Amino acid sequence: MEFHSDNKAYEFYSEYAKQKGFAASKVSCRRSKTSGEWIDTKFACTRYGKKRKSDAINPRPCLKIDCKASLEVKRRYDGKWFVCNFVREHNHDLYPEHIHYFPSNRRINSADKYNINALHSVGVKPSKIFAAMAKQYGGYEKIGFLEKDIRNHLDKERRLALESGDAKAMLELFTRMQEENPNFFYAMDLDEEQRLVNVFWVDAKGREDYKIFGDAISFDTTYITNKYKMPFAPFIGVNNHSQSTLLGCALLADETTCTFVWLMKTWIRAMGGKAPSAILTDQDQAMKAAIAEVFPNARHRFCLWHILRKIPQKLGEVLRKHGTLLHFTLCATKIISSRKIHCRRTNFNATKTSSRRIRRAKIVKKDFARPSFFIGRAK
């Protein structure tokens, strides 16, 4: 078997690896001592070779188990490459149905990058982008990359955008504001390459307001209006005049649990270690997990505005059948008794279904409204 170049040989072996259920990599190559040109290249299974010994406290995981499967090609005098050695057998199981999970087989081409950036620019989350691409390609295994790769790509795009001096300008601004008022607080989160990823800040007024109005707060990341398309996360409270007050804000690289944990720990440090009694958020699972870790004693409830906005999407069939969700809306927006709910059943059939809704409304009112004070519907 002959190839025009060693790259063509690698493409062939990589495609062979995909069909068989393993990942391939280039393990060695050799130049000619006289001409300096490449004359010998060896490709092998990614589990080729032996695991190196390490004295590190937390060593990186290593998958090498001395697998011998490989393909070696050499260059002839006419410039073509031929196979000089091929080992077929592996000492481990092969997984052709899981081949799309292997890092060496995951690539985002330029067309997919353009589509990802276009969808993200209008506020579509990575999970939704991944689902849309799976539908387009006919299955998740046919996309060629994972949702994690989409998030990494978007994170890299955001970090590259901040390399033009904006991060330095932001740091200079925060430093100057802290010199003018020592109670101004800011924190920056850097990645492994010391590049800015997340940033949080709160002024002196916000820290003072939290001491008085910090019993219940609202936290949201839906306001993605900055030029980097990075989630803007404000902490909002309500003062004694029922006016919103800003208790801190942040620009985030992503909306993962790890990022939210960093943000909430940083925010609570800025507020002197005092946790809120109650917190309202949207129905984000990563946010929910972070709150449970950082604020285990706080009452966490979902924002009513987000819940009502999802009613047409989640309960469309019920709305088409009955026309309204009067009992739920009355119970959610006005804490009224079940007797009044019965009195307001205008144009609503008294069926078993409606009776069940009334009982559910009682449960909602009892379990989610009475025990705690909340700052409203966070509209």
- What is the residue-level pLDDT of the chain in tens, covering all 379 positions? 888 888 888 888 888 888 888 888 888 888 888 888 888 999 988 888 887 776 666 666 677 888 888 999 998 888 888 989 898 888 888 887 777 777 777 888 888 888 888 888 788 888 889 888 888 888 887 888 888 888 888 877 665 555 556 777 888 889 999 999 999 999 988 776 667 788 999 999 999 999 988 888 888 776 555 555 677 888 999 888 888 889 999 988 777 888 899 999 999 999 998 888 888 887 778 888 888 899 888 888 877 766 677 777 667 677 667 666 655 565 555 544 444 444 444 444 444 444 444 444 444 444 444 445 454 444 4
Residue 296 lies in a domain: yes
Q: Is 379 domain-assigned?
A: no
Please report whether residue 191 resides in a domain: yes
| Residue 291 and residue 361 in one domain | no
pLDDT at position 225 is: 53
Name the strands in the sheet holding 81-87, side by side, starting at the edge strand that comes first in the sequence.
Answer: 2-3, 81-87, 70-75, 38-45, 24-31
Range of the domain at 356: 316-368
Residue with tokens 């090498």: 64
**Is residue 308 in a domain?**
no
Of 101, 117, 152, which closes a domain? 101
Task: Name 51's Cβ contacts closer than 8 Å, sequence gap at least 6.
Answer: 62, 64, 65
Q: Are 201 and 248 in contact (CB under 8 A)?
A: yes
Check whether residue 44 and residue 66 sit in a common domain.
Answer: yes
Query: So what's the pLDDT on residue 161?
Result: 55
Q: Is residue 307 part of a domain?
A: no
Among residues 289, 295, 260, the alpha carbon closest in space to that of 274 is found at 295
* 213 and 249 housed in the same domain: yes
Is 67 a domain residue?
A: yes
**200 and 253 assigned to the same domain:** yes
Same domain, residue pair 95 and 58:
yes
pLDDT for position 349: 45
Q: What is the pLDDT of residue 184?
A: 94
Which contacts qualify for 340-344: CB closer than 8 Å, 24 or more apart?
none
Q: Which of 161, 183, 207 is the last residue of a domain?
A: 161
Task: For residues 270 and 157, state if they share a domain.
Answer: no
> Which of residues 51, 84, 101 is at a domain's end?
101
- Same structural domain for residues 126 and 172? no
196 and 292 belong to one structural domain: yes
Please indicate, yes or no, whether residues 293 and 172 belong to a single structural domain of this protein: yes
302 torsion bin: left (phi>0), alpha (psi -120 to 50), beta (else): beta
- Given this model, what pLDDT does residue 364 score? 41
Question: What pLDDT is stored for residue 207 in this prediction?
Answer: 92
Residues 151 and 176 in one domain: no
Inter-residue long-range contacts of 14-21, CB under 8 Å, 24+ positions, other chains counted: 14/43, 14/104, 14/105, 17/45, 17/99, 17/105, 18/96, 18/99, 18/105, 19/96, 20/94, 20/96, 21/94, 21/95, 21/96, 21/97, 21/98, 21/99
Q: Is residue 273 part of a domain?
A: yes
Determine, yes or no, domain membership for 309.
Answer: no
- Asked if 184 and 259 sit in the same domain, the reply is yes
Q: What domain count does the chain have?
A: 4
Q: Are residues 275 and 341 in the same domain?
A: no
